[in-house]
């Protein structure tokens, strides 16, 4: 059911589930924190498109560097490269 908008009146959600209706009021009472602070702590952060783009660019750069390293190793042909050269560094540790 959608309630009609009344000018000057605050809009509140029409929640049909009693548990979902009472839970937001229960946690602030138990923690002693204000309702707004409690709800802000529970709500997920808004996605940051800039951060996501930076992660994509960093991954692309890392994959590009891996590709360049593999290309240098394979210039002499696949038979000239030992699998250990691809997997381990000069000290014998995994790359």
**How much is the pLDDT for 52?**
82
Per-residue pLDDT of the chain in tens (95 residues, 90 and over written 9): 555 555 555 556 666 777 666 776 777 777 777 877 777 777 666 777 778 888 899 999 999 999 998 888 777 666 666 777 778 888 888 88
**How much is the pLDDT for 2?**
56
Q: Which of 24, 58, 21, 22 is closest to 39 using CA atoms? A: 24
**How much is the pLDDT for 64?**
95
Q: Is the overall model pTM greater than 0.85, yes or no?
A: no
């Amino acid at each position: 059911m959608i309630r009609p908008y009344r000018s000057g009146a605050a809009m509140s959600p029409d929640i049909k589930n009693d548990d979902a209706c009472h839970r937001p009021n229960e946690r602030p009472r138990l923690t002693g924190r204000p309702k707004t602070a409690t709800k802000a702590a529970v709500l997920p952060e808004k996605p940051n498109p800039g951060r996501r783009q930076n992660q994509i660019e960093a991954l692309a750069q890392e994959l590009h560097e891996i590709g360049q390293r593999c290309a240098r190793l394979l210039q002499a042909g696949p038979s000239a490269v030992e699998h250990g050269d691809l997997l381990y560094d000069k000290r014998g540790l995994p790359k």
